[in-house]
Structure 1
């Protein structure tokens, strides 16, 4: 029997990502066009992922010499200075390998408005195409192609007037592909009498957990191309709800109006989301352009707005900016609890949702804000910048959110991570990660460009294991990990990169001094930048190894928080100071293999009786089963790819934790 000051057993372990952040890979694409309009840069404007970690990107592309990586593609838009654009859709594997592409468009201006995936990995795309101008004169241009899947027809030459008229007046489209890029259906619901530029207009869409597509549109009166309740008698805002088979289930009038025809000016940056649990809709955007926006019968008089609508389209509540009232909302996201996350640009002194943004600098700066489903403000963060910078996109994962944008000199208050370019160098894309519960910055990374070059982060999506995919465009070249990207033509090309971190192991050891209630604590996990101890009696101490004396015997909960390059890892244990006990049966010699695994984990050298439990990285219980022999198997074949925490408990109550990976 051995005397111990301490009876030690583990009660909880939470591992957050990550140990070392890195740009894992990068790919580029673009065309040789010299396009004059800023929105015509070869670009990635949105990224989505599926449950298998596959990546899908969308954005505009020029009309000649189109490449993605080293693969050449056929495009259809006009070529030359001031030319029009096509729509490029790409799918990549998690390792950055190109899976498939789609080029959509014709000779005129074709615009993609949104891309989404469902839980089965199907891909939905919506936007506008223009087959031929109604008064086109001369040689007929290329008709609209939905890649090689569908080509829209145009009228042959009219020998009297030399005028061409589009036989397919529809410009709005919704298209569905499966995960391998096979066309499932195409819907262009407008009437034949539609006028392309003065008619219907698609804004945004979202997909709920049942695979239904919710399409926010502006519709003119007419009989539309779906089966039931297809007559619109009064123009206005509507939400079309499509089934996964492409049938319109409902057409809901939205309690939102617009007075004016400059839709893009009014809703260019507006975002739209549906809450799968409640069916409520959320719209956030910037009030700009000559059009007047009304919500629930009242005009929007401010620059920024956020509104919630019932499934029947009725306004539930709205928020408008005030104070200095200078800013823009560029993205809107929801998490599984219905909490709302906004990103964009704001100037100091602007108030929104009860929060006033402040900064020691006067320039417009990136911001990120969180609200609950009822519109109550939870937290906000505003960056400090020397020149106007912006947040363009927001991604939500289990425990954190990430944003991307661009800046030349940028940092977040009370944190040291910064973007700092040399004088006259321009902007660099950044990726910043925040704790989802309180807005605390986890880390910020930037892309690397040469002097005189610039990069712009426009899109971001969350992948598995707190991995993120970021895209945008760049002007010269980029250095992303071991990959160097060069632009395709004379103008900006697009880029896609994977940001990834390793998951650290964390542990600590405890020993006692017999003469008193004094313990020695040592952090024994992966090497950390620093370690902070929370000792259960109100004491907090920094250090890898510490000694602490308790005022009285008793049970205390001790936590060690290890700070790494891009995350914090917390290990918590319960201990009883001043007890004498036998050494408990050890699980230190267990063997777990193969790790990573595709299906089964072998567990060997266990105690004769106990329990095995598996959690995801956010602490959710996934499976639990007893064991009664030293060697066992654990089936992970039904789980998605990712990193998990395995807990083993012996009959005596000793617990150990191991990181396991499913490939």
Structure 2
């Protein structure tokens, strides 16, 4: 009897831990006006999102500015300047309003709803898009960047990159087009934006070429370019992309960069009916879903596209993981005899005898080979517009109606008839196995109830989108202010007052065999290891792994608790012989946590090693003589930012470790 009771108690404890660990919807907010000027549909919606290390969320949305717009938590209407304006806003992890900025002029800004937002780890918030200034004559309002900067009437430049800090304080504005552009046509079109954690900003444009940035840089001719800025707003250089488009090419693209290899990945949807030519690496593009890879110098590496015209295209930013793999999502047309394929994977929808729009996901290796692919089966048409990745999961978002299921997944959504409901679906990032689906209840006044953007941090997922009349989020009921649609933001995840776990590990290497010891947060629900060689993840706490060949591998451990998840990665070298390759005294040295807050821990160091730390700007922060294998460095007074730690052995050999101070 005692044994039975003990088993029951243990089972109840496990069930309680499981229940506590399940993420859920926590809150939602809305914004918008009663105006009806936005074109194209769906109207007021979130265009892009990002989160910082404190759980604050930042987003840009298109708002109809012909009528006063309101947003949750702000007492009063937001400033409006013309037909359609750009709203930048920030809320904390609990959904409390922090600050906002209105950007726009007398007419429609953020053409075709193309805008980008990105954060660095130095406290910078960057936005890129387009604005239109009025002529000198007339009483139309000039373009405003909040109350911080007002453009002179008659300004012909439209492309902009603006930076604020995470408190909403204006930093700088860059409009790189030349002053000599024509009065009725812009010189450059915005495509997409990517911001690295260290403050490097990559602005993807299509340009006619010529002098840029007040004549400080000259683009050789028409083409697609990436303009690289630093955190101070200096235009460092341009990168010519190995792709060929024109200003009439309808290519809705998103850009991501692999921080390890420096490669760029551009994915999106293309309409060949627009008449605009499109090629990558000299290869003509005719189908709708396209992803291309380019090296750090912009040279073409490879591209992949669908078989026919039945895929509507890729949506959202390509998700590049710690191993350089790329995960993409989109929508294909399937049902009956109409089925498409991508890169050797054939899609099908056996739940319908007529054509339906069905979500799909594909994960590619750095060389463009399929790792896994999966598509939904649905009785009605559904859309997917966003993707993000956190810990060991990849998440997609869109609008769902009817019955939607995934092969191999026990979870399903069955929402009879229209309209669509905003929903997210979670998958195992390594295998593509479905984890769960969750939706928000919306009224039946509009079919444009969809998630349009996603971002995530430490297991918390922020979904932004658009809704028609009413939306329910975690017991909150939001009603739109009228017009076409209002935008919304909702958080799905864990309790904000709960501290997320921190992952870490040490290692011992003998030849091609590595033994790993988990050193992160002690209270956890699961630990998961990715050894960086393409093998499946393992969940042992302190695993060993033998590599097939010598080399350098990026090993990552992800820890999950009731408060979220965290991933820590470190490069590991194995050799055919005994020991560790590289600088013999320095290769094992490790610093953690990364990011660090008040203390930087040093482990596996050789006594007598000299440590020097430099900021990303080259400032020498400290010099430290290491006396023990494991030491702690106080960095509590240092500014937040990226730092480089140089370890110099008695032999004169040096190795560097990069870390982030928050």
Separation in structure 2 between the aligned mates of residue 623 and residue 233 of structure 1, nearest angstrom = 49
- What secondary structure sits across from 1:485 in the alignment? strand
Counterpart for residue 97 of structure 1: 96
Please state how far the C-alpha of 1:123 moved relative to its aligned partner: 0.5
Q: Could you say which residue in structure 2 is the equivalent of 1:116?
A: 118
Matches of 2:18 and 2:327 in 1, distance apart? 21
2:248 aligned residue (244, 258, 262)? 262
CA contact (8 A) 2:329 2:384 kept: yes
Superposed counterparts of 1:566-605, under 5 Å: none
Residue 252 to residue 21, structure 1, CA distance change in 2 (3 Å): closer
Q: Secondary structure at the match of 1:313?
A: coil
Q: In the TM superposition, what is the alpha-carbon distance from 1:227 to its structure 2 partner?
A: 6.5
Pick from 397, 403, 411 the counterpart of residue 405 of structure 2.
Answer: 411
**Does 1:338 pair with 2:331?**
no
**In 1, Cα distance between the equivalents of 2:212 and 2:635?**
46
State whether structure 2 residue 192 is matched by structure 1 residue 192. no
In 2, distance between residues paired with 1:95 and 1:181?
A: 18
Equivalent pairs, count: 492
277, 287, 293: which one pairs with 1:292? Answer: 277
SS at match of 1:286: strand
Gaps of 5+ in 1: 1-12, 79-83, 155-165, 506-525, 529-558, 560-568, 575-594, 597-613, 617-621, 627-633, 639-662
Equivalent position of 2:201 in the other structure:
213
Structure 2 residue 191 is matched with structure 1 residue 224: no
1:372 match: 365
Structure number with greater Rg is: 1
Conserved? CA contact 1:194–1:200, under 8 Å: no
Distance 2:429 2:472 in 1: 29
- Tell me if 1:399 matches 2:392: yes
Match of 1:173 in 2: 160
* Alignment check: 8 A CA contact 2:163 2:171 kept: yes
Q: CA deviation at 1:125?
A: 0.3
Mapped contact 2:68–2:80 kept (Cα < 8 A): no
Q: 5+ residue gaps in structure 2?
A: 1-13, 502-522, 529-537, 544-561, 564-591, 595-599, 605-631, 637-661
**Aligned counterpart for 2:344 among listed residues 337, 346, 354:** 354
Q: Deviations over 1:606-655 (max 9, x none)?
A: xxxxxxxx999xxxxx97999xxxxxxx99998xxxxxxxxxxxxxxxxx
When residues 415 and 114 of structure 1 are mapped into structure 2, their CA distance, relative to the original with a 3 A threshold, is same
- Within 2, Cα distance between the matches of 1:637 and 1:251? 36
Tell me if structure 2 keeps the 8 A contact 1:40–1:85: no
- Residue of 431, 448, 451 corresponding to 2:424: 431
> Match of 2:290, SS?
strand
Correspondence for 2:72:
69
Provide the rounded CA distance (Å) in 1 between the counterparts of 2:18 and 2:265. 30
Q: What is the Cα deviation at residue 62 of structure 1?
A: 1.0
Deviations 1:555-612 (A, max 9, x none): xxxx9xxxxxxxxx978899xxxxxxxxxxxxxxxxxxxx99xxxxxxxxxxxxxxxx
1:32 is matched with 34
Secondary structure, aligned partner of 2:307: strand
**Take 1:451 and 1:26, find their aligned partners in 2: how far apart are those partners?**
19
1:183 is matched with: 170
Going from structure 1 to structure 2, the CA distance change for 1:36 and 1:309 (only over 3 Å counts) comes to: closer
C-alpha distance in structure 2 between counterparts of 1:625 and 1:224, whole Å: 48
The equivalences for 1:499-514 within 5 A come to 499-501=492-494
> Relative contact order: is structure 1 or structure 2 higher (C-alpha 8 Å, sep ≥ 6)?
1
Retained in 1: the 8 A contact 2:364–2:372?
yes
Over 3 Å counting, the alpha-carbon distance change for 1:325 and 1:40 in structure 2 is closer
> Residue 547 of structure 2 aligns with which residue?
none
Is the contact between residue 307 and residue 318 of structure 1 (CA under 8 Å) also seen in structure 2? Answer: yes
Cα offsets for 1:475-530 (capped at 9, x unmatched): 1111111211111223311111111247999xxxxxxxxxxxxxxxxxxxx9x9xx
Q: CA deviation at 1:445?
A: 0.2
Q: Deviations over 1:250-288 (max 9, x none)?
A: 1111111114x324xx12x21111111111111112220
Q: What whole-Å deviation, never above 9, does each CA across 1:277-325 have from its counterpart, x for those lacking one?
A: 1111111122202211011122112222111111111101111211564
Equivalent position of 1:310 in the other structure: 295
CA apart distance, 1:418: 2.5
Q: Structure 2 vs 1, CA of residues 17 and 256 (structure 1 numbering), >3 Å: closer, same or farther? A: farther
Give matches, 1:608-623, under 5 Å: none
Q: Does 1:444 align with 2:437?
A: yes
Distance (Å, rounded) in 2 between the aligned partners of 1:178 and 1:132: 28
Residues 204 and 226, structure 2, Cα contact 8 Å, conserved in 1: yes
- Correspondence 1:248-259 to 2 at 5 A: 248-259=235-246
Instruction: Tell me which stretches of 4 or more aligned residues in structure 1 moved more than 4 Å.
Output: 15-18, 451-454, 501-505, 569-574, 622-626, 634-638
Matched residues in 2 for 1:198 and 1:179: separation?
31
CA pair 207-38 structure 1, distance change in 2 beyond 3 A = same
SS in 1 for 2:191: strand
Partner in structure 2 of residue 511 of structure 1: none
CA distance in 1, matches of 2:105, 2:348: 47
**CA–CA separation in structure 1 for the residues paired with 2:635 and 2:394:** 28
**For the structure 1 residues 462 and 636, does the alpha-carbon distance in structure 2 shift closer, same or farther, using more than 3 Å as the test?**
farther
The answer (yes or no) to whether the contact 1:62–1:75 under 8 Å persists in 2 is no
Report the equivalent of 1:462. 456
1:453 to partner: Cα distance: 5.6
Aligned to 1:87: 86
Whether contact under 8 Å (1:400, 1:435) holds in the other structure is yes
Q: Distance in 1 between the 2:164 and 2:220 partners? A: 32
Within 5 Å, give how 1:506-545 maps onto structure 2.
Answer: none
- Contact 1:76–1:107 (CA<8 Å) still a contact in 2? no
Q: Relative to structure 1, is the Cα distance of residues 201 and 36 closer, same or farther in structure 2, using a 3 angstrom cutoff?
A: closer
Deviation at 1:387, TM superposition (A): 2.1
Q: How far has the Cα of 1:187 moved from its partner?
A: 0.1
- Name the CA distance, whole Å, in 2 between partners of 1:126 and 1:119: 18
